[in-house]
Structure 1
């Protein structure tokens, strides 16, 4: 790490703002959306094939939960390490290496083997995917000034939703007709295809380093030109970083539950058919995706009118978590499959939609020379939820039977409520950026 107070690197020219730069920026953003689609299709495949895998390998719910949790064993460590590395190495090459490693990691379990091979493959895949989200966001943000980052940040995050939406019906068909190992081969091939496209078209943007920012309509933090290289501890110790990370942790817990156990809950807990469950999984993620786009639109509209990011990001984000918490906590209070399914979709869909708020908030808080580390450390902390949640839910199912699904949703609702309160009371990036950078 570079000591605080080191003078930032400067460039002579303002980043290009012409037509060509805009077209390239959106091309790169589109590729990064697809990158995140592949990333979350990889994550969702075990949940979609849960019944087949458990039957094939004779696994208990706890065993299957641990297999899902294994994905996150090195996920957080890799996310933090590569996040720090992204402040020094071009994101283009980091993203290319990650995509190739994803495809390689799928092959051991695709070739055969038992639970040990499956767990080893998922650990390897998790290590390769751990840095994906923060590095992809850093790459996207490098093409846009602060006041234009809400939409690209939301779109890259939307790739998470689109990945599951396309994976749910597509991979379910492959699993039902050709087996779950065939689905792993499909994902490996898609990863290689994306890597080829990125090698040809991917690039780092003009706002990656301490180049001058375009004028912002907000009363936000000091510009990137004036920002030095504060010690990471000053950024990570701010109320905004802590509040954002806690809120995002509770949201990621919800995502992990959706990926590992939502298909099984819909089938075994609520009695939906496999095809209906796949469609309902997609619908839940669609709702989350629409929420992401709506949040980006509202946040951008507020910031263009001079509303502080404390309100535009912190309060809007907390509102989404409050609604998600209320829906999850209401699930045991209603009768009937339809009502429970609707509340489940709203609670998980909105509860899991905090990622774009988190990323744009930390991007505003940290200067460019510290963004990779700040985002990577946040992501590493947050994704420990993925290590814990699947195993906890598996234990609840083995000890409580089908009732365990409902207990898991109530637990998620309580965590979302905590996250909403943290976002509401702690997030203020304009205030904390000034303190961290001076």
Structure 2
């Protein structure tokens, strides 16, 4: 066993080991934040280079929307499959394989090719990136007990925001000065560098589920000795977890968040320029405001949720209630956006509508992690991610069709649909999420 293997449970009173484990926990967390940054930089390339790609390849809005949605063709399937596999194979190696595969999948597009290569590259990239978020969360949260998971979970979500914030100006500069294919090559190369670092420094923590010598699965916080001498714990069927109101509510709420993410990554730059009249530089600034607000909200939600939990507030309100309210505010902003006068009011509503929804990513993951037994978390998170990311398959294609059919007015309809989706998601979070109740039901 090397220093990158699963860390053992920390013995009480061993301050040196505790300090080392904490340092390792935050090192792994930082690496996985960067992992998510690269993941979303990969996703954002097409949106940032939309006009250049459409002109270079002669694509209509519908064709470009189809190419963007192709990313999600295998995204959901691989997310569910690898999520289930993560309960049996160490997340360290799954994450390494993802990083290598998504870099390799972009190489042909960086070299050349037309629409067929674009679609094939995006399909393969989506298959490689589909499980990234749930497996990264699983690996990160394995280093922390439940009451300390809000911050590291939120930091992984923050990696999404940071990825776009860094990618927007850097990749825009690369696209304008060296072409969009160079931007694709750049993000692929960064993925390779990350993989090399992860081989040396990555791993799972003491709260991971580890197989015992007898082949049973050890529950979170259980020592290896106890696991090997005690009776095998009863394993909860996945179908029972997926049938809980909490899992359904968290998944429905997170679907709204991912709809906004897909819209923002693929069509928001074009919406800002073609429908709202922003220049390329102005569009980049608004994008940074949207993602910047998202990052602030994610961290604020994590801090407030942690404070509420420490004061004894039920997770139903500390997580589901807070996340649901943020979704409803975002819904109100999106529904008001098409009716607002052009100018500062439009910008404020757009930033609020798209920026406030992101916190549900962290809420959904920590909620399902709290609900699901330790040996079922990978599958529960992976299947949730598979359902949620179907939003990425539908939204870009639908918006492209609306733009081709109605021109710039199509964006107005797209924003109204987004507001309706967020409204339903917020209601689901407020009415269905209650992990304390459903965890008790699962334990019977």
Report the TM-score when normalising by structure 1.
0.93
For 2:232 and 2:364, the matched residues in 1 are separated by 23
For 2:357 and 2:232, the matched residues in 1 are separated by 36
Question: Which residue of the other structure, out of 345, 351, 364, is the alignment partner of 1:339?
Answer: 345
Q: CA deviation at 1:402?
A: 0.2
Q: CA deviation at 1:14?
A: 5.7
Q: CA deviation at 1:259?
A: 0.3
SS across alignment from 1:144: coil
Q: Which residue of 2 aligns with 1:35?
A: 35
- 1:114-141: CA deviation from partner (whole Å, max 9, x where unpaired): 0000000000000000000000000001
Q: CA deviation at 1:411?
A: 0.5
- Mapped contact 1:239–1:427 kept (Cα < 8 A): yes
Q: Does 1:191 align with 2:191?
A: yes
Q: CA deviation at 1:337?
A: 2.8
For 1:396 and 1:231, the matched residues in 2 are separated by 42
- Mapped contact 1:309–1:428 kept (Cα < 8 A): yes
- 1:154-202: CA deviation from partner (whole Å, max 9, x where unpaired): 0001000000000000000000000000001101110000001111111
Q: Does 1:55 align with 2:32?
A: no
- 1:259-295: CA deviation from partner (whole Å, max 9, x where unpaired): 0001111111111110111121111000001000000
Q: Does 1:26 align with 2:19?
A: no
For 1:84 and 1:433, the matched residues in 2 are separated by 20
For 2:333 and 2:171, the matched residues in 1 are separated by 29
Q: Does 1:155 align with 2:155?
A: yes
SS across alignment from 2:208: coil
Q: Does 1:292 align with 2:293?
A: no
> Structure 1 pair 402/304, CA: closer, same or farther in 2 (3 Å)?
same
Q: CA deviation at 1:228?
A: 3.6
- Mapped contact 1:79–1:379 kept (Cα < 8 A): yes
- Mapped contact 2:208–2:220 kept (Cα < 8 A): no
Q: Which residue of 1 aligns with 2:273?
A: 267
Q: Which residue of 2 aligns with 1:201?
A: 201
SS across alignment from 1:18: helix
Q: Which residue of 2 aligns with 1:243?
A: 249
**Superposition RMSD on alpha carbons, in Å?**
1.6
Q: CA deviation at 1:406?
A: 1.4
Q: Which residue of 1 aligns with 2:320?
A: 314
> Structure 1 pair 335/204, CA: closer, same or farther in 2 (3 Å)?
same
Q: Which residue of 2 aligns with 1:325?
A: 331
Q: CA deviation at 1:211?
A: 4.7
Q: Which residue of 1 aligns with 2:284?
A: 278
For 2:415 and 2:234, the matched residues in 1 are separated by 44
Aligned ranges 1:82-121 → 2 under 5 Å: 82-121=82-121
For 1:127 and 1:302, the matched residues in 2 are separated by 38
Structure 2: unaligned runs, 5 residues or longer: 1-7, 210-217, 223-230
Q: Does 1:401 align with 2:411?
A: no
> Structure 1 pair 14/341, CA: closer, same or farther in 2 (3 Å)?
same
For 2:317 and 2:359, the matched residues in 1 are separated by 17
For 1:27 and 1:226, the matched residues in 2 are separated by 33
Structure 1: unaligned runs, 5 residues or longer: 1-10, 215-224
Aligned ranges 1:157-172 → 2 under 5 Å: 157-172=157-172
For 2:9 and 2:183, the matched residues in 1 are separated by 50
- Mapped contact 1:14–1:211 kept (Cα < 8 A): no
SS across alignment from 2:359: coil
